[in-house]
């Protein structure tokens, strides 16, 4: 199949293109679209055949449930069995936006969409193109990140085309996703809200609205052996082709260690990539150095993380060393993705 790519301008969204994309979804086809977090690979969430197509296009294991995207808050009541008071408070505070909530599901949602689970993940994005598309498609769009399974999520239409061209009907191009990391996922299907995946909506932000929120142990576990409650979090993910190692410690020690490790790798004939920050990029004596942005502005790091991971795949580096980030605010979400990309390979210095 030939994948059509259509560029859209946020200042004047071409509704003819949106209508066309909406029709593709209604008819059971797939459309990738921008959101404020990362690009999504959309299909009709209420059509099991569409969900099957999503799994096939991504090469995603079918026990890994999809997030259902809605364009109006009240639509949640059509697919969620019980919406607790705390869930409502979170929806009021953070929807539309990068927060996914897990509810027990109504029968309307096919098992194929939820990977056989009795719960459903729901998000209302703030992105205007995403919301217009959801509306045009009938209101319920299942959309995992628009990348081939295992590869870093996509933050531009070009990245989507790289992974999914020829496998889906259309890609809507809305430029670069501004957040760059997937949504925070919180399970509100039981009494105690639990974070299953960290994102830019942080624990502290939610606790200021609803009181104590727990974090699934797998999110902060130092190794990959604790079984996560979000099925997708158990898979190796975001991985670049070269082996990635995170070097953790005081900045000056990290620079020294990365320079030493790079020299050792080069002596073995390996080509080295380095994931640095604007503040440190000039401190590395060798290797292909890419900056994630200013360390002092975490939102720059999150915006560029997947793009930089992907960019190394276009080069012939054999191994990559990355600086690490603190776990305050968005740092926890950044480290969660980076640790997965590195298969939890960390060197402490
Ligand atoms: P992605 O769409 O690529 O951002 O991945 C969606 C993430 O949401 C995966 O990690 C899923 O395992 C998780 N997820 C979706 N639905 C549920 C659910 N009902 N319960 C727990 N986790 C879910
Ligand atoms: Mg994903």
CATH number at residue 269: 3.40.50.11030
Cβ contacts of 225 within 8 Å, gap of 6 or more: none
Number of domains in the chain: 2
Instruction: Please check whether residues 31 and 109 belong to one and the same domain.
Output: yes
Return the beta strands (E) in the chain as ranges: 4-7, 31-33, 40-44, 67-69, 99-104, 119-123, 141-142, 170-173, 184-187, 194-197, 214-215, 243-248, 272-276, 288-291, 319-323, 346-348
Compute the distance from residue 145 Cα to the ligand 2 centre, in Å: 4
CB-CB contact of 105 with 119 (8 Å)? yes
Tens place of pLDDT for every residue, the chain, 349 residues?
999 999 999 999 999 999 999 999 999 999 999 999 999 999 999 999 999 999 999 998 888 999 999 999 999 999 999 999 999 999 999 999 999 999 999 999 999 999 999 999 999 999 999 999 999 999 999 999 999 998 999 999 999 999 999 999 999 999 999 999 999 999 999 999 999 999 999 999 999 999 999 999 888 776 666 777 887 776 667 888 999 999 999 999 999 999 999 999 999 999 999 999 999 999 999 999 999 999 999 999 999 999 999 999 999 999 999 999 988 789 999 999 999 999 999 999 9
Is pTM beyond 0.75 here? yes
- Residue 158 in any domain: the answer is yes
Instruction: Please check whether residues 310 and 204 belong to one and the same domain.
Output: no
Which residue puts its alpha carbon closest to atom 22 of ligand 1? 230
For the CA of 197, the closest atom of ligand 1 is 10
Instruction: Please check whether residues 327 and 187 belong to one and the same domain.
Output: no
Instruction: Please check whether residues 47 and 120 belong to one and the same domain.
Output: yes
Which residue puts its alpha carbon closest to atom 5 of ligand 1? 144
Instruction: Please check whether residues 188 and 299 belong to one and the same domain.
Output: no
Instruction: Please check whether residues 261 and 211 belong to one and the same domain.
Output: no
Instruction: Please check whether residues 110 and 195 belong to one and the same domain.
Output: yes
What range does the domain containing 208 cover?
A: 4-219
For the CA of 105, the closest atom of ligand 1 is 19
**Of the candidates 219, 234, 267, which is a domain's last residue?**
219
The CA–CA distances, whole Å, from 291 to 62, 239, 324 equal 35, 18, 12
- Residue 234 in any domain: the answer is no
Compute the distance from residue 100 Cα to the ligand 2 centre, in Å: 13
- Residue 204 in any domain: the answer is yes
Proximal ligand: closest to the CA of 100: 1
- Residue 233 in any domain: the answer is no
């Amino acid at each position: 199949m030939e994948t059509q790519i259509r560029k859209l301008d946020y200042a004047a969204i071409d509704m003819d293109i949106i209508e066309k994309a909406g029709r593709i979804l209604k008819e059971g086809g797939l459309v990738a679209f921008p959101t404020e977090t990362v690009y999504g690979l959309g299909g009709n969430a209420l059509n099991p055949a569409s969900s099957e197509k999503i799994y096939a296009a991504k090469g995603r294991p079918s026990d890994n449930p999809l997030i259902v995207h809605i364009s109006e808050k009240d639509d949640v009541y059509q697919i969620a069995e019980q919406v607790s008071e705390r869930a409502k408070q979170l929806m009021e505070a953070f929807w539309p936006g990068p927060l996914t909530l897990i509810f027990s599901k109504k029968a309307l949602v096919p098992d194929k969409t939820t990977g056989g689970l009795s719960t459903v993940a729901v998000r209302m994005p703030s992105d205007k193109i995403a919301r217009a598309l959801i509306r045009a498609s009938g209101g319920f769009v299942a959309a995992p990140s628009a990348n081939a399974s295992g590869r870093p999520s996509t933050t531009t239409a070009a990245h989507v085309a790289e992974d999914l061209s020829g496998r889906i009907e259309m890609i809507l191009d809305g430029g670069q996703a501004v957040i760059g990391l997937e949504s925070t996922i919180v399970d509100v299907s039981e009494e105690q809200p639990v974070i299953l995946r960290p994102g830019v909506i942080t624990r502290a932000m939610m606790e200021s609205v609803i009181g104590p929120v727990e974090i699934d142990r797998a999110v902060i576990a130092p190794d990959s052996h604790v079984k996560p409650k979000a099925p997708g979090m158990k898979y190796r993910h975001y991985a670049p082709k070269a082996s990635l190692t995170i070097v953790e410690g005081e900045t000056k020690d990290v620079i020294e260690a990365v320079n030493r490790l790079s020299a050792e790798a080069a002596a073995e004939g390996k080509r080295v990539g380095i994931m640095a920050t604007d503040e440190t990029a000039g401190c590395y004596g060798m290797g292909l150095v890419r900056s994630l942005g200013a360390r002092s502005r975490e939102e720059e790091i999150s915006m560029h993380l997947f793009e930089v991971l992907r960019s190394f795949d276009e080069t012939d580096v054999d191994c990559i060393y990355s600086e690490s980030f603190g776990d305050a605010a968005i740092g926890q979400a950044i480290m969660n993705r980076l640790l997965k990309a590195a298969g939890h390979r960390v060197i402490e210095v």
